[in-house]
Amino acid sequence: MFRIFAALACVVGLNASPAQAQQVMGEYLTWLGPRDLVNSSGTPLTTFGAVLAQDRANFHRFGKRDDYDGNDPFFHRRDLRANLPAYYRAGQPVARYIFEDVMSGRGHYVFVRIFGSGGRITHVNVYEGAG
């Protein structure tokens, strides 16, 4: 019986998901407010991931910073900002009330945690920010 459990443990270990090897690569706090709801051409954004990317573009590229915007270790790079919507989709969905506050223009303070493996970002999760 012990051999069966030992063999099963080995098989489970070999089939472990790569997600288990993922680690927190960075994190930041930011205010997602009305200025983050439109792109640099003035077109309204319709997805939460796009708002996250615009917030980082406003912070790093355009210098349009809200009072509570914090720095992050990655999104000064344009290619990584462009992938932020996909990173968000690959993570956990944000709480509904945060989504509604942000997308309605009321805004919300959020905590963004960046996950990855092998030096590459795989996803981001967004949580309520404490302020």
For 78-91, the pLDDT digits (tens) are 999 999 999 999 99
CA distance readout (Å), 47 to 28, 37, 52, 85, 109: 20, 9, 9, 8, 17
**CA 122 to CA 28: how far, in whole Å?**
16
Question: Which residues make beta-bridge pairs with 126?
Answer: 112
Q: What is the pLDDT of residue 104?
A: 97
Q: Identify the pLDDT of residue 22.
A: 85
List of the chain residues with pLDDT < 70? 1-20, 131
Largest Cα span, the chain = 66
Q: At 85, which helix (H) or strand (E)?
A: helix 84-90
pLDDT at 88: 98
| Domain residue ranges in the chain | 21-128
User: What integer pLDDT is reported at residue 130 of this predicted model?
Assistant: 80
